[in-house]
Amino acid sequence: MKLGILVNTDRHPEDIEKLTVIALAKGHEVDIFAMDSGTRLLELRQFTGLSMLKGVRMSYCDHSAGEHKVKKEDIPAAIVCGSQFNNAAMVHDSDRVLVL
C-alpha cells in the first residue's frame, strides 16, 4: 500500500514522523507533499530527514514555500521542489491520503 500525507500546517511534525516510520515498518511506501504553512517544516531536520528513509518520497509546493519565506538552500536534494501537480500525483498514486 502507498500512504500519501498532505502536510498543510506546521503543527504536527512528530505525528508525521511517527506515521511514516510505522507505515514503513509495515512494508508500505509513503509519499509526503508539503504546502501552505506545512512548508515551514522544511526547515526542520526532523521532517526533512524522512526523505532519506527507503520507501519515502517527498515534494513541496515552491509557491507556498516562497509565500512562507522558507529557506530553501538547506532542503535536501531528495525532496522535489514542485507544484500542485506533485500534490495531484501523490493523491492519484496513493491508496490512502491523510491530511495534517
Query: What CATH code is carried by the domain that includes residue 42?
Result: 3.40.1260.10
Output the pLDDT for position 72: 93
**Confidence (pTM):** 0.96
Cβ neighbourhood burial of 63 (10 Å; 0-12, 13-18, 19+) = middle
Instruction: State how many domains the chain has.
Output: 1
Query: Tens digit of pLDDT for each residue in 59-99?
Result: 999 999 999 999 999 999 999 999 999 999 999 999 999 99
Q: In what order do the strands lie in the sheet with 79-82?
A: 79-82, 56-61, 29-34, 2-7, 96-99
Range of the domain at 9: 2-99
